[in-house]
Structure 1
Amino acid sequence: MEAERRIEHERTIMDPNVEILTVRWNPDDSHIASACSDGTVKIYSSVSGSFIRTLNCRVGTGPVPITGIRWRPSASFGKTKNILIALTVEGTIMHWHATSGKTLNTIKLDCQTLSLDYDYEGKRFAVGCSDMNIRIYDESTKEVISNLVPGMGELLGHVNRIHSVKFLSDNMIVSGGWDNNILLWDIRSGAVARGMYGPQIAGDSIDSTSNLILTGGYQISDQLQLWRVDDASLAYSETLRSSERACMVYSAQFSKHDCGAIFALGGAGCDEAYFYETASRRRFAVLNNLVKPIYSIDFANYSNRVAVGSGDGSLRMLSVLEPTVVDQEI
């Protein structure tokens, strides 16, 4: 008889004075970055859970929430490792060398910077903004090399702030935000190739694997949706609800080490995270008993571990245990 997958708690790191808005494993899974509501990014050892250092992204005098972080991929052309980008709500894009704690570069925009992603090789990064633009930067020069512009007239594009961007390939980006549009952009032409309507995206809640796009909506129904990349059709939809309270999603992601065999979503309302098998769409675990929203979920790159960041100041490290075959007595 085959047992079901399940999640197992490893450890919880608490910082009750802040909200944990984004968590991210570094490329070799040795460290976890935790981005906070006070404008800092804290680096921890993923092995021991010990605190390593704080990266202070506050440019002014007051606390400025971190809206997104990404580690530069290990496949990057650059020789320097453990490079991390942090965005702030005031429009600052900061490159850090997390190992030494040094700021390498700072870009200041006249709008809020809300979401970002690296391409696979780390040669470019995309930033979604409150002015409805997606700016694509060259990682080497830190200059804008392409701008995916807002919708206007018959021109398709976003008409509200952009809370999630994701590279699908070298030439394709998917994005979403408050306008309920999920747009697939052809970077070469700078135009929308396909679009889906429905999910309101309020966090880092778009991901992809193979021919599927996962979206987590900040809404009271159909929060979980899977879309086909090739024709933008809806493959699956489910309402997330617990004890008559809807889970309005802030974060959604496929697992990485097994090419998206499972996925997870978490958010506000019932303050829970849900874990699913991708092929069967079967829910196999729920992380509950939290008192504040789940803002971020990130799977490790080379193992079955998961990091979860919450509004209660907690960074939880979990393991997804694979099914095992158990002999059944007759």
Structure 2
Amino acid sequence: MYGPITTSRKPSMQATGVTPHDLGLGDAVRKEPYADGALKLLETITLATDAMCVQFNRDASILAVGLANGTIQIYSADDYRHLYSLSDSDVQKSRLPATTLRFSQTENTLTATYASGLIKFWHITNGQTLHTINEGEKRQTLASAFNNDASSFISAGSDSKIVQYDGKTKQVKNVLQATDSRDVMNGHRMRIFALQYHPDDPHVFVSGGWDDTVHFWDDRTTHSVRKLYGPHICGDALDIDPIHNHILSGSWRKNNVLQVKALLQGD
């Protein structure tokens, strides 16, 4: 079990005109983490700015945290020590958030996407950028996923397209998207925030975003092969259970936030 990530940013009171000083709290106001039910907080990592995404490596020994300024912080998951910071001139120039983090099969490398449209492949221990893909200033890259043998990875974002890359060469293999016809819903029409390959199939993956649909894809084709309506996904909130062949989705709403659906079930 590992503790949560929190930030040290103070709650904003500008809307009411009330300041912490007016309440006699000085600069000490901040929302402390808490847990309901049987959950127990073990530790808190305090950050200088908002955490936008987090990811454990495969053996849960280290934790990567992507920040709102684009910097990635690496921590030991055993004692919560800060180990490394990942940032370069591109990140420092844009200062836009890291949006997803993915540890590669080689545990010392990490792939990160950014709202600036960049995809970066990092060597964790020496802090060097191994490769950079620039998807363009007009595209915010918001989601990514590797298939089970790392032969392909995909990215998606603000333009509703999914780009498939060769895992070794980093060259584009395919662009998956909806048809031009508004009468057919075989792809996304709005921002895509989540991607997840099937753990047992190197070609099948699911995607979700703002248009209240989850789409099922085969990366050897151009359009989605199936869809389901309902989940309003605004973050990295899709996963696949290969044992029961179910998908788990998380939606931005008050009720029915988490939903499970059979992967092989039709619309």
Distance 2:256 2:266 in 1: 17
Q: TM-score, normalization: structure 1? A: 0.64
Check whether the contact 2:149–2:202 (CA below 8 A) recurs between aligned residues: no
Distance 1:137 1:57 in 2: 23
Distance 2:156 2:135 in 1: 12
Distance 1:218 1:34 in 2: 21
Which of the residues 232, 239, 257 maps onto 1:207? Answer: 239
Q: TM-score, normalization: structure 2? A: 0.78
Q: What do residues 173-213 of structure 1 show as CA deviations (whole Å, max 9, x unaligned)?
A: 10011111100012222331211011111001111103211
Unaligned runs of 5+ in 1: 75-80, 234-330
Kindly provide the amino acid, as one letter, of the partner of residue 62 in structure 2.
Answer: H
Which of the residues 148, 158, 165 maps onto 2:188? Answer: 158
Distance 2:235 2:89 in 1: 21
Correspondences of 1:118-267 after superposition (within 5 Å): 118-153=146-181, 154=184, 156-168=186-198, 169-209=201-241, 210-232=244-266
Deviation of the 1:130 alpha carbon? 1.0
Unaligned runs of 5+ in 2: 1-36
Higher relative contact order (CA 8 A, sep 6+): 1
Distance 2:143 2:105 in 1: 17
Kindly provide the amino acid, as one letter, of the partner of residue 166 in structure 2.
Answer: D
In structure 2, relative to structure 1, the CA distance for the partners of 1:165 and 1:57 (3 Å cut) is farther
Runs of at least 4 residues off by over 3 Å: 5-8
Identity level (%): 31
Deviation of the 1:224 alpha carbon? 1.9
In structure 2, relative to structure 1, the CA distance for the partners of 1:13 and 1:49 (3 Å cut) is same
In structure 2, relative to structure 1, the CA distance for the partners of 1:84 and 1:51 (3 Å cut) is same
For residue 93 of structure 1, what is the aligned residue in structure 2?
A: 119
For residue 109 of structure 1, what is the aligned residue in structure 2?
A: 135
Check whether the contact 1:185–1:191 (CA below 8 A) recurs between aligned residues: yes
Check whether the contact 2:177–2:224 (CA below 8 A) recurs between aligned residues: no
Check whether the contact 2:51–2:66 (CA below 8 A) recurs between aligned residues: yes
Distance 2:154 2:131 in 1: 16
Deviation of the 1:167 alpha carbon? 0.2
Check whether the contact 2:193–2:235 (CA below 8 A) recurs between aligned residues: yes
The count of corresponding residues between Structure 1 and Structure 2 is 222
For residue 36 of structure 1, what is the aligned residue in structure 2?
A: 67
For residue 77 of structure 2, what is the aligned residue in structure 1?
A: 46
Kindly provide the amino acid, as one letter, of the partner of residue 163 in structure 1.
Answer: F
In structure 2, relative to structure 1, the CA distance for the partners of 1:6 and 1:177 (3 Å cut) is same
Q: Please report the RMSD computed on the Cα atoms of aligned residues, expressed in angstroms.
A: 1.8
Q: Does residue 82 of the first structure (1) align with residue 108 of the second (2)?
A: yes
Secondary structure at the aligned position of 1:61 is classed as helix
Check whether the contact 1:40–1:58 (CA below 8 A) recurs between aligned residues: no
Distance 2:254 2:39 in 1: 26
Secondary structure at the aligned position of 2:130 is classed as strand
For residue 17 of structure 2, what is the aligned residue in structure 1?
A: none
Distance 1:164 1:27 in 2: 20
Check whether the contact 1:26–1:82 (CA below 8 A) recurs between aligned residues: no
Check whether the contact 1:39–1:58 (CA below 8 A) recurs between aligned residues: no
Check whether the contact 2:94–2:116 (CA below 8 A) recurs between aligned residues: no
